[in-house]
């Protein structure tokens, strides 16, 4: 069952807050701080405001996290507020391995950690 108490604004830890996965916020990864990170799944969740719409620094940040073995999912802050269940369902899909390839869609960007195939 999806625990909808998981929120970007509920504090530093969301213990077993999303289908049994623990998220830490913020979490240092290299020179950056991830909005949320699940160590167990090596998943970073970034919640972006409109200032990130065309921010080229985000691509560099994502690439750095990918090289360090982290998958990165970016969602819009407005979607967290207005479409919370869909956002959480998408994060659960990533955690469960149902979304496992690079995906860029309206309101969503998912970059799995680098595999050998990425460098062919």
Helices assigned H by DSSP within the chain = 56-67, 77-82, 84-95
CATH code reported for the domain at 13-119: 3.40.960.10
Domain ranges (residues) in the chain: 13-119
Euclidean distance between CA atoms 49 and 79, whole angstroms? 10
According to DSSP, residue 119 is labeled G
pLDDT tens digits, 29-77: 889 999 889 999 999 998 877 665 566 788 888 889 999 999 999 888 8
Q: Taking residues 10-31, report their average pLDDT.
A: 75
CA 28 to chain centre: 14
So what's the pLDDT on residue 70? 95
> pLDDT by residue (tens digit) across 75-100?
888 888 888 888 888 888 899 888 87
Specify the higher pLDDT residue, 72 or 20: 72
Distances (CA, A) of 86 to 42, 49, 64, 83, 97: 21, 17, 27, 6, 16
SS3 10: coil
Answer whether residue 108 shows pLDDT above 50. yes
Whole-prediction pTM: 0.75
């Amino acid at each position: 069952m999806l625990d909808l108490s998981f929120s970007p604004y509920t504090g530093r830890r969301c213990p077993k807050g999303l289908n049994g996965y623990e998220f830490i916020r913020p979490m240092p990864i290299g020179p950056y701080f991830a909005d949320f990170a699940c160590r167990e799944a090596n998943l970073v969740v970034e919640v972006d405001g409109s200032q990130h719409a065309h921010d080229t620094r985000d691509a560099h940040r994502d690439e750095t996290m990918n090289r360090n073995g982290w998958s990165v999912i970016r969602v819009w802050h407005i979607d967290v507020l207005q479409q919370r269940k869909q956002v959480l369902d998408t994060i659960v899909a990533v955690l469960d391995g149902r979304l496992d390839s690079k995906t860029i869609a309206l309101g969503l960007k998912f970059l799995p950690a680098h595999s050998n195939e990425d460098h062919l």
